[in-house]
Structure 1
Amino acid sequence: MDAPWTMALATVAERLNGSRIEWMLLGSAATALHGAAIVPGDIDIAIRAADDVARAATVLPTPELAEPSSAVVQDATASPSLWFSTTTQPTLQFGDAGERWTFGRWIVGSVKVELAHIDAPAVATLMIETRAPLVWHERETLTCHGQPIPTVPIEVQLATMISRRQDARIDATITAIDPTQLNLPLLHRAIADKQSEFPNMTVPDSLQHLLSRSRHGR
């Protein structure tokens, strides 16, 4: 597994782990690390403490840049997709009281790496990916090039995929993992909590029979 994204992930993991920054791999890279036949377009990482996003800039390849003008900072806030971390401005903050982001973006090797801490009080009691603190207690540790990778649980990721109607990705995930090893109570919880945000989401047939096992005994 020597793809550019795995080499970048191992580099980031070594530096974050070495600095004792608490983090968790999310998104397509987490799914791919489970063995799903997908190629991540970037690496998405959640950071548990907002201040640690800035601290990550001291160990990741953060370029220097002259002091930005207020116009540049305003532009970055309006279009965060065009912004990258620098030593002058290692993080970008945006959002509102309902969902406040502390965000950083780097290029590691040739791969885009995004780190974020998200404060979202409305979902604090939900088991959902990215924004809710409860998922941190369910992390699993995978490995990449010898580096431990704290990763969002696949059960919670499946709920995200359902909400986004990513049926092909769900099928690729189920093919890659051992379905008998799924934590079905966690999967039920993750789906129910995601449905509170997306009440019209429909569980595909490929997962229905797995969920029915927990109702009738494994």
Structure 2
Amino acid sequence: MGTLWSTALASVAEKLNGGRIEWMLLGSAATALRGVAIVPGDIDIAILTADDVIRAAGVLPTPDVLGAVESGGFVPADWISTVAEPVLQFAPAGERWTFGRWYVQGVKVELAHIDAPAVAGLMVETRAPLVFQERETLRCHGQSIPTVPIEVQLATMVARQQDARIDATIAGIDSALLDLPLLRRAIRDKQSEVPGLAVPESVQSLGLN
């Protein structure tokens, strides 16, 4: 695994692990790390606490530049974490975000803690701390990578109707190793959040029938 995103991930992991920060890899990088044939466009990481996003700014390569940008509740496309403004905090739709963005070896890396009380008890990717209890530790260039469960990711793909990614994921993993109770719960919890969510046959055939 010698791709640019994976070497950047290993560099970030070394710093976060060394700083004893509780984190979890999400998104396309988490899927690709399992050997699925997709190329991540960036690296998305969930952080267990808001304070740890701020602590991460102390261990990641944060430039000492001025010119902090007013967020206005959203993240400007050109904003990065700096010494002057290491994180942004904003609260869209009943959630409270603590967010940081870095470029590591040319790869965009985004860290976020999302306080979302409405989904705190659900097994959903990104916004629910419950998923941290199910993290799987993978390896990348010798570094430990706490990673979102693939079962929870599949539920996210279903909700986003990412059929091509679902097919690539199923083809790239050993489906016999799936935790079916966890997959069922992740899909059920996603359905409670997204009423009317339909599960494609490709996912049902994994053992949900």
**TM-score bin (small chain):** over 0.9
What is the aligned partner in structure 1 of residue 63 from structure 2? 63
> Which letter does structure 1 place at the counterpart of 2:26?
L
Q: Deviation per CA, 1:24-50: give whole Å up to 9, x if none.
A: 000000000011100000000000111
- The AA in structure 1 aligned to 2:27 is G
How far 1:67 sits from its partner (Å)?
5.9
CA distance in 1, matches of 2:182, 2:190: 12
Aligned partners of 2:129 and 2:145: how far apart in 1?
18
User: Mean alpha-carbon deviation: is it higher for 164-173 or for 201-210?
Assistant: 201-210
Partner residue of 1:216? none
Instruction: Give yes or no for contact 1:188–1:211 (8 Å, CA) kept in 2.
Output: no
The alpha-carbon deviation at position 198 of structure 1 amounts to 1.3
Which residue does the alignment assign to 1:114?
A: 110
Query: For residues 96 and 175 of structure 1, what CA distance do their matches in structure 2 show?
Result: 36
Residue 2 (structure 1) aligns with: 2
* Count of residues paired in the alignment: 209
Structure 2: 5+ residue runs without aligned partners? none
* Corresponding position: 1:127 with 2:132: no
Distance 1:19 1:201, change over 3 A: same
* Displacement of 1:128: 0.2
* Equivalence map 1:9-20=2 (5 Å): 9-20=9-20
- Residues 64, 88 of structure 1: 8 Å contact kept: yes
Deviations 1:146-198 (A, max 9, x none): 10000000000000000000111111111111101100000000000001121
Residue number in structure 2 paired with 1:26: 26
Aligned positions of 1:1-218 closer than 5 A: 1-66=1-66, 68=68, 72-74=69-71, 77-96=73-92, 98-212=94-208
The structure with more helix, counted as a fraction of residues: 1
| Counterpart-to-counterpart distance in 2, 1:141 and 1:74 | 34
Residue type at the aligned position of 2:168: A
Secondary structure at 2:156's aligned position in 1? helix
**Counterpart amino acid of residue 140 in structure 2:** C
Moved over 4 A (4+): none
Q: Provide the rounded CA distance (Å) in 1 between the counterparts of 2:161 and 2:96.
A: 26
Q: Which runs of 5+ in 1 are unaligned?
A: 214-218
The TM-score with structure 2 as length reference comes to: 0.96
Distance in 1 separating the partners of 2:168 and 2:66? 45
The structural deviation recorded for 1:82 is 2.8
